[in-house]
Homo-oligomer: A and B are copies of this chain.
Amino acid sequence: MGSLGYKSAMVDLSHHINAKSKARHPSPLKDIIKFMGYDGMVSFAGGLPHPSLFPLDQAKFECLSPAASLTADRHSDGQNKDDVLGLTFGRGSSIGDLDLTQFLQYGSGAGNRQLLDLAKELTERVHSPPYEYECLLHPGNTNAWAKVVGLLCEDDDYILVEEFTYPSAQALWIPLGVKAVPVAADAAGMMAKNLRNILMHWDERDRGARRPRVLYLVSVGSNPTGITISKERRREIYDICVEFDIIIVEDDPYYFLQYPSYGSSVETSSIPKPIPEFLNTLVPTFLSMDTQGRVIRLDSFSKTLFPGLRLGYFVAHPVFTERLLRATEVETQDPAGLSQAFVLGLLRKWGVDGYLTWLQNLQLQYRTRRDWLLDAFHAHFDIVPAEKSPVPQAQGLVACIKSAHDGQVKQPVFSFVDPGAGMFVWCKFYFDGVERFMQIEGAANNRDPEQDFANELWQAWATELVLLTPGSYYHAWQGPEKMTTSARGADPRTAHFRFSFATPTNEEINSGVERLAKVIGRYWG
């Protein structure tokens, strides 16, 4: 790990590695491995089972080609022949597209070398990071994040997160006594000035913990908010992270699911675009602007191929990947072999260009679904721009009760930002003036009327056979004393719900929003 050949002068970031991670030692067995390759060596040193005794000789996969026509109701048996592509993996190098044997055996922890090379090629192509990074396979972003917490966080630390954040990421660190420091966002993502304020005025005594060192972000199509951090905002956030020595963990499963805005004139018929043109439409990642190696990027095939693979990869500074590899050796070992073989075989057959074509194909599918949901919003509500709405502090668009006559004062129900990526629309509901809410709020001993009314609303929707995810699931965890709407400092008389548009059909979406509007009509009157 000399300094020669580095694309950019890296700063020393090793002080970010926590005490437990520092205490990991490489397995002494590694010393032996280099001898094993000697010609004529008889090794009694390995502990591996004999590959001739693995009861799998051949695997064949029938896959889609990158530009296959996708429809929600497609059936594999009715698939157009041009859309289908076969992969055959045998035992031995001469059989099929890939020698399966190595994937059936124990691996080294880092993952298959050729798959890592492909991950690097893809990383160069898409992000072209300005420093000398390394890639390391992992079994999905859930585990990757667990390993990063194990690498960077001490017990009782604070972690910087978006105001509304992914609950499983939090659930991992809550038992460590770690708390979130939520940073407010607007439609362009986390607000850099708020981030800076928090860091500048951090009071160790008051907070009872050192200044945060980790910023966790789902920076494209965030779950739950659907927000993508803009290029300019990213630049500002990165600079603040340099100033305050913060490591950015870029958990980015939705990166390739970025869409033109709803109702825009961008033609779907121009798909697939030439690859460079496609890549140009994507917001630059934090990794792509990282001159210091302080971004740890979590990449995953869960949303782009399928989640059951449990396969993705870290892109990070070698000082971090080396420690992550030590953790991998004792915590998980290599990701599953059939997953590695499948992805390597598929990406080789498709080529990196083919994969990037597939991603455009996928992008169009999810964009269409996003449009279905927003179409339904327009069909069942009056949609007005926030600044022209009765809630001028709202962002994006406001859905109001559909009025019979133009010119009538519109009654706002919820605001939302057209999600430029991902699978979610995040809606902020306004309860002010809703009779039932005012009743709950007026009752004695009411700890959290917003949450109580949100629960009632959720139940009323479920009774009408439509399910949303309550926004409370995504509140940044600031400790048990900061759970109510007022204690969190959230806007009074509001609450959030998350819509996912990934799964239902157009018809389901439309009738779901219709049912929703019916219940809303009852409450908003």
A interface residues with partner B (beta carbon < 8 Å)? 19-25, 27-29, 32, 35-36, 38, 40-64, 68, 70-77, 79, 84, 90-92, 95, 103-107, 139-140, 142-143, 146, 167-168, 171-172, 174-176, 223, 302-303, 305-311, 329-340, 342, 346, 358, 362, 365-366, 369, 373, 423-424, 462, 465-470, 472-473, 498-504, 508-509, 511-512, 515
6 tightest Cβ-Cβ pairs between the two chains A and B:
A308-B337, A42-B512, A336-B336, A57-B76, A58-B62, A23-B175
Extra pairs beyond A28-B472, A40-B465, A56-B63 (12, CB < 8 Å)? A28-B167, A32-B467, A41-B467, A45-B500, A47-B469, A47-B502, A49-B303, A76-B90, A76-B92, A107-B308, A143-B332, A332-B332
Number of this chain's copies in the assembly equals 2
In the complex, the answer to whether B44 meets A332 with C-beta atoms within 8 Å is no
What secondary structure prevails in chain A residues at the interface with B? mixed
In the complex, the answer to whether A92 meets B63 with C-beta atoms within 8 Å is no
Task: Known contacts A36-B467, A91-B76; decide if A142 and B64 are in contact (CB<8 Å).
Answer: no
Q: Choose one: B53, B70, B104, B424; the contact of A47 (CB below 8 Å).
A: B424
Q: Choose one: B56, B329, B466; the contact of A342 (CB below 8 Å).
A: B56
In the complex, the answer to whether B306 meets A20 with C-beta atoms within 8 Å is no
Task: Known contacts A53-B70, A171-B27, A466-B44; decide if A308 and B336 are in contact (CB<8 Å).
Answer: yes
A52 nearest CB across to chain B (Å): 5
CA distance A168 to B24 in the complex (A): 11
In the complex, the answer to whether B47 meets A423 with C-beta atoms within 8 Å is yes
Q: Choose one: B68, B104, B139; the contact of A306 (CB below 8 Å).
A: B104
Contacts of A373 in B (CB 8 A): 44
Task: Known contacts A308-B105, A339-B338; decide if A509 and B42 are in contact (CB<8 Å).
Answer: yes
In the complex, the answer to whether A58 meets B58 with C-beta atoms within 8 Å is no
In the complex, the answer to whether B35 meets A467 with C-beta atoms within 8 Å is yes
CA distance A309 to B499 in the complex (A): 36
In the complex, the answer to whether A72 meets B49 with C-beta atoms within 8 Å is no
In the complex, the answer to whether A29 meets B330 with C-beta atoms within 8 Å is no
In the complex, the answer to whether A358 meets B509 with C-beta atoms within 8 Å is no
CA distance A479 to B352 in the complex (A): 49
Q: Choose one: B56, B330, B468, B500; the contact of A61 (CB below 8 Å).
A: B56
A414 nearest CB across to chain B (Å): 13
Contacts of A472 in B (CB 8 A): 28
